[in-house]
Structure 1
């Protein structure tokens, strides 16, 4: 029962400085006119499809664009999303869809909808840094399970089973994966479903990178017949269509889930921004060629990044994750010293500890935040640091 100046204990593990003090040093270098390649945050460098850009929105042509949208979402956007889910493998009716203010807010609404205080959520690590805090601020317990760094070599089912307790209520799955760039195989997806079914768990499907697979990928987990009563999926247009600043996403599940999400969303942000919902509908309707070209460019950037690091190319997504142990100096117990040296060379990356407690010596690198020419300069700088150490 906090009183001023105390706060809720649910936020004890949260910090506004998710990516460490390195960001402040990077900002100072940039303010001084020094070049810094910002490969720490998963933004994308291209402008959205032309029809979806802000300068294509005209209030004279769009009645009500400055008014509240219906809490579930604009009807035209819901129709476009429903069509999109069919293209992804299984049509979700419009009445089961909920437009969200981006995937971060969407996953927060999902957490508020599904979890009680003290509930445990299996969180395969390494993971997207914000998901741990999203779960924790609800009062639930994110249980970190080291898995995705070695997904093809570990026994997925046994690894998850070892973390199950009588408080476990959900399993979070993100594929294509942030930060490893891995895509879960059909065998891994089967294991996720068996564990969820055996223990009657919710499956939280984070589909942020659904459109950015560089190899043939299995059908999304949420499209399977055997998960229809236990899945909740969250999607975003940030990565696929370059609309990160628009803060538009959507979520869905079975009919009961859709109704519950709608209720919680109404008391969270009420509705997503109306102008950005118009942009999102246009992106979904006109963005296929844009998306195909984007995949090709990102795949090239991912392969070239992997070559410099000496690791396998990503199967999808916008990140790679690598063990920096060979590049640490004597006495260094984590990757921060190495990251400082990389920043001195003009490259900012994310410490692996942001992605899980077991990955202090690892590093996350984004390969989509800059144009390919700019990214190649970053790789040359990074390669120079690696060669100096080796």
Structure 2
């Protein structure tokens, strides 16, 4: 007899992943081309792996300080002094288990149960789970294709309530590839100042941008520097997803001290030899530049190919490695159309609805894949649409 699970209400209410649903369905189609996994299709660069091996050989296998090693915190601070604000020091930095843990620690530090944090819709769905896990609420703010999916200050203003404590920005964005402009950021900054809101800016794709675009961060706005926390990781830019290492940069060392205390009860610390590898990673961007060159070519293969298929329109992603095509012309839900492509075309995509209500009518496809797979995926989708929807425009 199977015993009933005694699960807490908070665990029961944790939102299910629409992305995982497609993974589970795809397992039944081993020959399908999977354009779902949000990670680079490159191996971690050799010089980074070599640094980890040296650290292991040197015995760097013991606990690190809760906030991270001095070397890595100093390296991260140096990066942001150069890019964002000259006041950052190692005491403004905590090393985390990916950017996701950094976001969790930030929410634990800044939000109380019942508080609200505004998030773009569509967005990375774990934002909802992160807020839910501490008793707060992630409130979606709609983003629109007509603005290239960039969250607008006016829509943020409409969503603010007396319970709102923070805004979460993600630029470049998963799943849409949107990159906020300086004008966008300055307008959002005015809303944040007016309502005394924190801004958490999630920037793991900050180095993956195209067509000469230069991302602009809320942390670069001088009058906002006392209310911004930057989250980032080595996962996307340096192809280190499996290493699980990221960081958070705060405006005052006191926030880092408190997060380091919380870190003790969440993960204790990030592995020492991994941090040594991350220090080495920051010494060069040559590998990042090469990956972005490859992503640029692959973005064009996928997006140009999709736009040549009747019924599909797709804006060219400004950043990240995601395409977010509009499939509303087919008159199907994004879940239904994604399942059609899986079953009949052998291509695995993620329905836009997995990322929020505003994602309905769209799909997310990852172009961090080989040129050959992307070309074959486009061919399969085109063939299926021609067969199943011969009259579509």
TM-score by length of 2: 0.89
> Aligned-pair distance for 1:224?
1.8
Change (3 A) 1:153 1:267: closer
> Aligned-pair distance for 1:19?
1.4
> Aligned-pair distance for 1:282?
1.6
Change (3 A) 1:60 1:43: closer
1:219 aligns with 2:222: no
The correspondence for 2:112, drawn from 109, 113, 116, is 116
> Aligned-pair distance for 1:375?
2.4
> Aligned-pair distance for 1:244?
0.2
Q: List 4+ stretches of structure 1 deviating above 6 A.
A: none
> Does the 8 Å CA contact 1:299/1:316 hold for their aligned counterparts?
no
Equivalences for residues 279-298 of structure 1 within 5 A: 279-285=277-283, 287-298=284-295
1:259 aligns with 2:223: no
The correspondence for 2:73, drawn from 78, 81, 85, is 78
Aligned-partner SS, 1:323: coil
Match of 2:139 in 1: 143
> Does the 8 Å CA contact 1:123/1:145 hold for their aligned counterparts?
yes
> Does the 8 Å CA contact 2:149/2:176 hold for their aligned counterparts?
no
CA distance in 2, matches of 1:52, 1:225: 34
> Aligned-pair distance for 1:246?
0.2
> Aligned-pair distance for 1:148?
5.2
The correspondence for 1:275, drawn from 273, 276, 290, is 273
> Aligned-pair distance for 1:308?
2.2
Aligned-partner SS, 2:276: helix
* CA-to-aligned-CA distance 1:134-179 (integer Å, 9 cap, x gap): 1111111111111154435989222111111100000010111111
Change (3 A) 1:149 1:371: same
CA distance in 1, matches of 2:188, 2:378: 36
> Does the 8 Å CA contact 1:145/1:160 hold for their aligned counterparts?
yes
Match of 2:346 in 1: 346
* CA-to-aligned-CA distance 1:224-269 (integer Å, 9 cap, x gap): 2111111111101100000000000000111132222222222211
Aligned-partner SS, 2:303: helix
Equivalences for residues 96-115 of structure 1 within 5 A: 96-115=92-111
Q: Which sections of structure 1, spanning at least 5 residues, go unmatched?
A: none
CA distance in 2, matches of 1:130, 1:384: 34
* CA-to-aligned-CA distance 1:197-225 (integer Å, 9 cap, x gap): 10000101001111111132243221221
CA distance in 2, matches of 1:109, 1:193: 23
Match of 1:166 in 2: 162
Match of 1:57 in 2: 53
Q: How many residues align?
A: 376
* CA-to-aligned-CA distance 1:295-344 (integer Å, 9 cap, x gap): 1111121122221232221111111222221134xxx4x11221112112
Match of 1:241 in 2: 238
> Aligned-pair distance for 1:5?
4.2
Equivalences for residues 198-209 of structure 1 within 5 A: 198-209=194-205
